[in-house]
Structure 1
Amino acid sequence: MYQTLAAVLLVFGFSTAAFAAPLKLVVLGDSLSAGYQLPADDAFPAQLQAALEKQGHDVEVVNAGVSGDTTADGLARLDWSVGPDAKAVIVELGANDALRGLPPEKTRENLSEIVSRLTDRNVKVLVAGMLAPRNLGEDYASRFDPIFADIARIHGAMLYPFFLQGVAMKPELNLADGMHPTGEGVSIIVQNMLPAVEDLIKRAGSS
């Protein structure tokens, strides 16, 4: 009888594991991650999911990017953009703050609140950094650029220093506006970020 019960429990255990839901990773961002003017399959979340699946990860990557969003906009929609089933979040916000010349202190405050609220929910966070346009001056850049590393350090989050690494300022990898990556540009971003994202989902899966 006990052997039969053990066998049933063993089979049940394998069955529930087989039907376990994939780990949910949300990309909370702006047009850079949302896939501005790109086919859905070329957007960052879609390409990232394909790359993770190729590496054998069972992950659902959710595109929670909204074109034009600032850190204030991201904070305002945080609770409904990142549902209770999310285990990990990539925060890609701040570019529009800089483009609009918003006070870096406010960007810091908003981003800190976003990451703080996510970590309080035991959601693992990867902060994707951004750099201020140099035409805003060195003073602005010196106040803006360090925000992302500081926030990651303070809240124990992960950091990817510059989301557009390897793509920024390369015309062949950006749309005609010179700011948004093409599908090929997104592919480079994904490959550059992949090790950090794999670390993120490893941490999320073990929490």
Structure 2
Amino acid sequence: MNGSIALAGRIGRYAAGVVLLQALAVAGCDRSPAPAPAPTAAPTPASIARPAGPERLVLAFGDSLYAGYGLDRGQSLPDAIEAKLRGAGVNATIVNAGVSGDTSAAGRQRLAFALDNLKRKPDLVLLGLGGNDVLRQISPAETRANMTAMLAELDRRGIPVLLTGMKAPPNLGPDYVAQFDAIWPDLAARYRNTLYPFILDGVIGDPALMQADRVHPNVRGVARIADRVTPLVQERLKAAPSIAG
């Protein structure tokens, strides 16, 4: 979602963005409020698996939902997923390349640079863009073209992808919603990617899981998302051997 654009001098656009993102709770989340996460007892040393095996390198490439807007260092979604993977014994390192305010066009421009500056080819890319496109009401055709270009580049490089999708609020009209929401399942099928359909599913609309701006998840919200996304990451990493090289 748009963090820096929303709060860095564009107050009017921010207000509109909040309204749109609140509507996403109707468009893509559970109709009933999500229950607050149950307290988790501190794990004992015996319950934590020690990371083993070859290092798995994952690139988290997205916007403020990956960057950890409004959170302390180490509290972002990529951090939470990495911690859960390592706690499960997966020797994974996630490089956080989330940039607050990025549209799909901005991501398209910097993807190759981000990949080329990793220490090696990643075993998996988490790709999460599109929220700022819908806030700006960018044409779904443009968003689709940008997402297609990024997935084509990753496919060309032989890098598996886990897409974390986005949904448009219903107040943008049925035509826009239908065109926008179809982008992620269509491209996931086309490029044989794993898809988590809506990154804020079960979180947006619940004040206990969102920051005061009602746009970005708080630490508890991030934990909720990580609980749902991490098994998909783990499954995808297990599906193929390391592609280091």
TM-score (norm. length: structure 1): 0.87
Could you tell me which runs of 5 or more consecutive residues in structure 1 were left unpaired when the two chains were aligned.
Answer: 1-18
Does 1:136 find its partner at 2:172? yes
Q: Which has the higher contact order (CA 8 A, sep 6+)?
A: 2
Percent of aligned positions that are identical: 40
1:26 to 59, 63, 68: 59
Give the aligned partner of residue 117 of structure 1: 153
Shift of 1:20: 7.5
Indicate which of 53, 63, 68 corresponds to 2:96: 63
1:132-189 C-alpha deviation (Å, 9 max, x unpaired): 1222122211110010010111111111111111101112111111110001100000
Letter of the 1:113 counterpart: A
Match of 1:54, as an amino acid? Answer: G
For the pair shown, the structure with the greater C-alpha radius of gyration is: 1
TM-score (norm 2): 0.74
1:156 aligns with 2:189: no
8 Å CA contact retained: 1:124, 1:204: no
Pick one of 83, 91, 106 that aligns with 1:50: 83
Aligned to 1:6: none
Deviation beyond 4 Å, 4+ runs, structure 1: none
Distance in 2 (alpha carbons) for counterparts of 1:200 and 1:72: 26
Asked if the contact 1:35/1:43 (under 8 Å) is kept, the reply is: yes
Output the CA distance in 2 between the equivalents of 1:45 and 1:185: 13
Unaligned runs of 5+ in 2: 1-51
Of 127, 140, 155, the residue aligned with 1:104 is 140
| SS of equivalent to 1:58 | strand
Q: Helix, strand or coil for the counterpart of 1:36?
A: coil
Alpha-carbon distance in 2 for matches of 1:72, 1:138: 24
> 3-state SS of the aligned residue for 1:166?
coil
C-alpha deviation, 1:197, in angstroms? 0.8
Q: Report the residue type matching 2:194 in the other structure.
A: M
**Number of paired residues?**
189
Tell me which of 77, 84, 89 is aligned to 2:110: 77
Say what the alpha-carbon RMSD is for the aligned residues: 1.6
Q: In the TM superposition, what is the alpha-carbon distance from 1:129 to its structure 2 partner? A: 0.8
Task: Note the C-alpha offset of 1:85.
Answer: 2.3
